[in-house]
Chains A and B, each alone.
Chain A
Amino acid sequence: MTAGERKSLLMGVAFISPWILGFLAFNLYPLLASVWYSLCDYSVLSQPVFLGTQNYVDLWRDPVFWKALQNTVVFAAVAIPLSTFLSIGLAVLLNQPIAGQGIYRTIFFLPSLVPAISLAILWQWMLNGPMGLVNNLIRPILDFLNLWLHTQLKTPDWLNDPNFALWGLILTGLWGTGQAVVIYLAGLQDVPAELYEAAELDGTSAWQRFIHITLPMLSPVIFFNVLMSIIGALQTFAVPYILTNGGDGPGRSLLFLATYIYQNAFDYWNMGYASALALCLFLLIIGLSLITVRYGERKVHYSGK
């Protein structure tokens, strides 16, 4: 290494050092510390006491952990495909050359600017059983069905009924699809027009063009969005926490892994157990992300390749 190279290296390291220090202090150290604490009984205020794998044994036998895990996985499994289909559909519609296109795009994007806390408070009212807007929309449909089918269908009490609370949250999540729509729209702009022209000359239908041109060309963007959504959905915390006023929801139907970690760490002072839970969540996210990358990439079509 020449003196110039050495100087350049030092300069580079000096400039990047705030990030390196931040990473070491606020990412790597907490991660390594939480691995250690997950093997201890630790309440933050007292010295940790080594327990071995006891926290993991407890976690394995803890029905509340399994309930939180189930809620988290079900939420991710339903919300991600639903929001992906919805946002691709909206992006395709918003990509049509019609008058006021920009206005429509803005309207669909605006809700995603609402902060999570405001969103949760807003949806507390939207999902209110007797008075909520959602039920006011559903009620005439149910009344019609009840009249014709002689059924006794009732509007759900979204946030108080364990059978519906998770679905209420999924509905809430759809409010923020605007962000994904913008990314899909950007992806749609990149699809070469000549591909559509050639397909049209071959006499393909609009649906065939969507399946055989739009989706493959959009696949890198879909892949990116799905990967980000998996990571985001598994870390769901703020909206259900506010929707339930800091609780678990009826019958723990809105208890997610991230909420359970928070409760154990800051409400119950079981930081050791919370660290074990956090590591499980970390491994779950890593595992699902790797599976998505491993199998998802096979279906992704990169136009540059």
Chain B
Amino acid sequence: MKFLLTLASLLRFFGLLGLLSLASCTPKEDARISGRLVLEYWEKWTGFEREAMAGVVDDFNNSQDKIFVRFLSVSRIDQKMMLATAGGVPPDIVGLWAINLPSYAENNALMPLDYLAKDAGIRQEDYLPVFWKLCSYRNFLWALPSTPSVTALHWNKKMFREAGLDPEQPPRTIAELETFNAKLTRKNADGSLAQIGHMPQEPGWWMHDFPSWFGGASWDGATKLLLDAQPNRHFFTWLESYPKRFGGGAMFELRGGFGNFASPDNPFFNGKVAMIMQGVWMNNFIKKYAPTGFEYGAAAFPEETEHPEAPLTIAETDILVIPAGARHPKEAMQFIAFVAQQKNTEKLCLGQHKISPLRQVSDEFMNHHSHPYLKVFQSLANSSRAQPTLSLPTFKQYANDMITYVNLVLLGRMGADEARVTMLARQQKALDAKVDRWNKVAPVRVALWEKEIHP
């Protein structure tokens, strides 16, 4: 009996503690500063990129007196947003990458923006098609672009001259790229590589998109990965040719001496690699870290078959989203719509030295932009063959596996076919599981989203 009494006292004690903790978890009042509703905006940017957005946030805060946007730089933002959303306390606005969209949307982590965007006067036709596509998934709009980028070939003009190549004539096909590659590659007396014209793993950030340059894609957009298709076979065979021509060990030995990307030891700046695939932001790093007088060119990355009338590029974009469960979606959309106005988008993209995602680009933007090849990038983004980067619900697994198998092929440790088939088996299984899961929840999810976009 005494034991039971003691137990009852203990339960009362823990019950009280439980009630106290529950009380501390009840929703708080809306945060306000001088009567203005405070919106929390998490963004991944730091440095000058952060400063560029901070200027736009200030403009928004000064433009009206109802809302105050509190701007916060957050590292590993994709993971933190996931945890905050799962915990029921997401911020009001988050700056993510477009590659995050499929998995976030399928997991109900985002708010569909179709209705809110329409209500705020945002129109699809105002954007370059590829960037609008990057913000859409399963026929819903989930985000709006903030600062976009497209990829292009960057080449070192000095190295071209030294190899007897015309520095104003980049390669236009993969075959030409490899002819140039042979001319630009130099070996040391002991047979090791002193410099190389091109190596796919430098920087190797778009391996998952590379089949596009061989005329294909990585998946059918629904349920099937296309690693067995001809373009993917060509891509892997092309990779396999590298260790045969340059030596897998020699390439990795050369790569072992490369410095950090954001440093003067970047292999493109210090003459170790002559041709690389990079995005529009590369000019920022060139200005900061490359030696004085560094000369480079930028053009469409060569394809297996040339299409001069409509060059291929892979587009990516940073995006603004409203997490599911955010408490002030209308006000959040008001801020996003402000950023989407041409003058504000241009201010942001100018500050970050990137291209504009909008169809209309002002003369002021073109004239004030510091990128010497802005027109090249802007026209690549305008190309009818500009393609969105891989939008796969299993993107991270796929991209991670791709890097592993590509490196094994480039090292000469695994044949092209073995790598491709092994990867296909692993990744198709992962995709099947996601598709299966999606099919189970789709009717409920889509009905919910439909309700949200037709309030």
| A residues at B contact (CB < 8 Å) | 1, 6, 9-10, 13-14, 17, 21, 41, 43-46, 49, 63-64, 128-131, 157, 159-162, 247-248, 250-252, 263, 266-269
Contacts and interface: CB of A to CB of B under 8 A. Distances in A.
The 9 closest A-B pairs by CB, nearest first: A129-B256, A130-B257, A45-B107, A157-B256, A1-B2, A267-B396, A160-B256, A160-B252, A44-B86
B13 A45 contact: no
A268 B14 CA distance: 37
Contacts of A128: 256-257
Interface stretch (B309-317, B334-342, B367-375, B433-441): B433-441
Interface stretch (B142-150, B343-351, B405-413): B405-413
Interface of B: 2-3, 5-6, 9-10, 13-14, 17, 79, 82-83, 85-86, 103, 107-109, 249, 252-253, 255-257, 394, 396-397, 400, 403-404, 407-408, 411, 413, 426, 430, 433, 437, 440-441
A162 B253 CA distance: 12
A250 B426 CA distance: 18
Nearest to A131: B257
A159 B253 CA distance: 10
B371 to A, nearest CB: 27
A247 B255 CA distance: 16
Contacts of A161: 249, 252
B440 A269 contact: no
A247 B257 contact: no
Given A1-B3, A161-B252, A251 B413 contact: yes
Given A250-B411, A251-B408, A268-B397, A45 B256 contact: no
B257 A129 contact: yes
Contact of A251 (B82, B83, B411): B411
Contacts of B108: 45-46
A94 B6 CA distance: 55
B447 to A, nearest CB: 15
Contacts, number: 87
Contacts of B437: 41, 49
Contact of A162 (B9, B13, B411, B440): B411
A14 B6 CA distance: 12
6 contacts: A1-B3, A6-B5, A44-B86, A45-B108, A46-B107, A63-B426
Given A13-B10, A21-B17, A161-B252, 14 more contacts: A6-B2, A10-B9, A45-B109, A46-B107, A49-B437, A49-B440, A64-B426, A130-B256, A160-B255, A247-B403, A263-B400, A267-B397, A268-B394, A268-B396
Nearest to A250: B407
Contacts of B13: 10, 13-14, 17
A209 B279 CA distance: 67
Contacts of B14: 17, 21
A130 B426 CA distance: 35
Nearest to A268: B397
A169 to B, nearest CB: 16
A160 to B, nearest CB: 5
B41 to A, nearest CB: 21
Contacts of A13: 10, 13
Nearest to A18: B17
Contacts of B17: 17, 21
B53 to A, nearest CB: 25
Contacts of A21: 14, 17
A64 B405 CA distance: 12
Contact of B441 (A46, A160, A250): A46
A259 to B, nearest CB: 11
B428 to A, nearest CB: 14
Given A41-B433, A248-B404, A269 B103 contact: yes
A21 B14 CA distance: 9
A112 B137 CA distance: 49
